[in-house]
Amino acid sequence: MWIFLCLLSAATSGLASIIMKKCSKNNNAKSIALIGLATSNILYIIVSILFTDVLTNFSIKNFLQIAPLTICQMTGYICGILSVKYASVSTVIPIRKCNTIVTLVLGILILNESIPILKLILSLILVILTILIVKEDKITEDKDSKKGIMFAWLFVLFNGVSSMLNKYYINTFVNPLVVTFYYSLFGLSIVALYCFFTKSWKCYNLKNINKSYMLFTYILFDFVSNLSYRYCLVDGQVSLAQPIHSSSIIITIIGSYFILKEKISKKKWLMIAGVIICVMLLSI
């Protein structure tokens, strides 16, 4: 069952990346991030309240305990949006899949999960292929692309850490929706405080968002992806779930080629195929 949930998370994550690329074009990244964070956190809170007793058992200690997860995942979320805004999806997404490496290492060091040496070797190959994909794009003279690459690597760091923390907190609280509730409540508080001190409330004006329906479609897919991923971690090891989740690259790359009309060279297709093979082998 956990494998099905992980694949569902991967599929919706891949589609969400394509939709976000369409949405981020000609839109303010700050507005997209703030609306996305606020809306998704409200959805998580509503679902958690409907299906758990978190309100009657509310604890300030639990609220503060989950703060590191919230901060890491929200930072990764923002970096993810900025990465596809400043660079092509077909370049950024392979880099972002290196969060698998971060999660694998943290799973071994912190969660004490047993990882065969072969998986560590495959992870190293995955990183090398990703670097080659970036180099093949010849982006060094393009400031916007360089900025997109930088945000993609920041996403790798924060998302990799948050994936490990998701598993840690699910082991602690057992019910993924309890983790989701405290995570979302803390996240919504951060968004509200940020808007209060920076006076960014105008960013929530949907009239300034081109094709706002695309934004809410992205939020829906991202919502399903994150929730199904947390549920898959109830029974699945994060060191196995994360590589399987990385298969979302297949949908994203193919989608960017057919839907966004992004050009992909034959050499890059071969390297992307190598990344996919590594991800599949890591999932065995």
Residue 207: burial class (beta carbons within 10 Å; 0-12, 13-18, 19+): exposed
Tens-level pLDDT at each residue, the chain (284 residues): 788 898 899 889 888 888 887 787 778 878 888 898 899 999 999 999 999 999 999 999 999 999 999 899 889 888 887 887 788 766 776 787 778 788 878 888 898 887 778 877 887 787 678 667 755 555 444 556 788 888 989 999 998 899 899 899 999 988 999 999 999 999 999 999 989 998 888 888 888 888 788 889 999 999 999 999 999 999 888 877 877 777 776 777 777 778 777 777 888 788 888 878 887 786 67
List pLDDT tens digits, range 234-258: 988 887 787 777 777 677 777 777 8
Alpha carbons 180 and 185: distance in angstroms, whole number: 8
Distance CA 238, CA 102 (A): 11
Instruction: Assess contact for 86 and 144: CB atoms under 8 A.
Output: yes
Q: Count of CB atoms within 10 A of residue 125's CB?
A: 15
* Beta carbons within 10 angstroms of residue 232's beta carbon: 27
pTM of the shown model: 0.78
Q: How many CB atoms are located within 10 Å of the residue 46 CB?
A: 12
CA 211 to chain CA mean position, Å: 22
